[in-house]
Amino acid sequence: MTKLFITIALFIATGVAGFLYLKPQWQTFRTAQAENNYLTRVSGEFDELIKNRDALLREVNSISKEDIDRIDAALPQGQHAGEFLVTLENMTKETSITLKQLNLSGISEKEQKTLAVKNQPIPTGALKSSAPEKAISELPSTLSVSGSYETFKRFLDAAERNIRLIDIGTASFTSPGESYKPMDINMGIKTYYQ
């Protein structure tokens, strides 16, 4: 009976010792298993993100250089006010309308004179305003021209076809009184840049 009692006591002691030893190990195993599952899920999410990134890169790289240049011409980086001035002058020459006055409102008077003389674009970031930066900014201007109704229509058509985005918000006409004299047209226009 003593042997049986000692055997049972040893089994119970072994079971208790095993339980006390294995329980923390089991908890460590469960924690490691949960972390492994979490890392597997995160790894799967990263793999999916990498696939999406690669797909986006392929799509971006498929855009031709000509298309990128056209987008940059339509919505340039920086004001490029000098180029805009040249564009407006060329449009007035092509449409046989007389350019009387151009006021680039987003630029100081001194810079306008410099642009008129040198015809150089303003460096990107040269003008800083206290307003928060936006993704797309406006360069408002006023333009005074003189010409017939037909030349004005041609000018509007040229502005519409121009690759740089030009909005003509307002236009006011002054009647010449006689049909053979050109009419004066004042316009509020704006163009956009990044």
Q: What's the pLDDT score for residue 10?
A: 85
Rounded to the nearest integer, the mean pLDDT of the chain is 81
Q: What's the pLDDT score for residue 106?
A: 58
Model pTM score: 0.54
Residue carrying structure tokens 């840049």: 193
How many CA atoms does the CB half-sphere of 20 hold within 13 Å? 6
Helix H or strand E encompassing 12: helix 2-61
> Counting Cβ atoms within 10 Å, is residue 115 exposed (0-12), middle (13-18) or buried (19+)?
buried
User: Bridge partners of 140?
Assistant: 190
CA 29 to chain centre: 50
**φ and ψ of 188, to 5 deg:** -100, 115
Tens of pLDDT, residues 54-69: 999 998 888 888 888 8
Tens of pLDDT, residues 71-115: 787 778 777 788 888 888 899 999 999 989 888 875 544 544 444
Residue 25 reports pLDDT greater than 90: no
Q: What's the pLDDT score for residue 107?
A: 52
Average pLDDT of the segment spanning 35-45: 94
